[in-house]
Amino acid sequence: MNVAILGASDNRDRYAYMALVLLKEQDHQVFPVNPHLDQIDGIKVAHSLKELSQSIHTVTIYINKSHSDKVLADLIAVGPKRIIINPGAENEALGKAARSAGIEVISDCTLMMLRSGRF
């Protein structure tokens, strides 16, 4: 499954980094997105969602509302089947807009979903 990680991090202590590692371990194709990084563990990082040319099934969000408000149009344009809004990334307006665009919205922890087989 193609998964974009919005707010991907190269800091091993951050949940976004842990999610990247666990997604790879479970054989998902990861597409990290962060405007300030070029690569994470040898994986090319897109600077915006607009740079993704692959079909994305899931976008897991690790950025706060002040940042996610700015990328809402790009998120809708990517057209994922679902988005996962991780703790700390809550954004009611984003969730409502995504649902209106036909995107499933899940408020949950990607790491817990992966570890419990609910991903």
- For residues 64 and 42, what is the distance between their CA atoms, to the nearest angstrom? 26
Domains assigned to the chain: 2-49+68-116 (3.40.50.720)
Q: Which helix (H) or strand (E) element contains residue 59? A: strand 58-61
β-partners of residue 85 are 61, 107
Q: What pLDDT is recorded for position 10?
A: 98
Please name which of 65, 102, 114, 26 lies closest in space to residue 6, comparing C-alpha atoms.
65
Check residue 7 and give its pLDDT.
98
**Residue 117 backbone class (left: φ over 0; alpha: ψ -120 to 50; beta: rest):** left
Mean pLDDT per 10-residue segment, the chain (119 residues): 98 98 98 98 97 97 97 96 98 97 98 97
Yes or no: say if 5 and 18 are a contact pair by the CB < 8 Å rule: no
Confirm if 9 and 17 have CB atoms less than 8 A apart.
Answer: yes
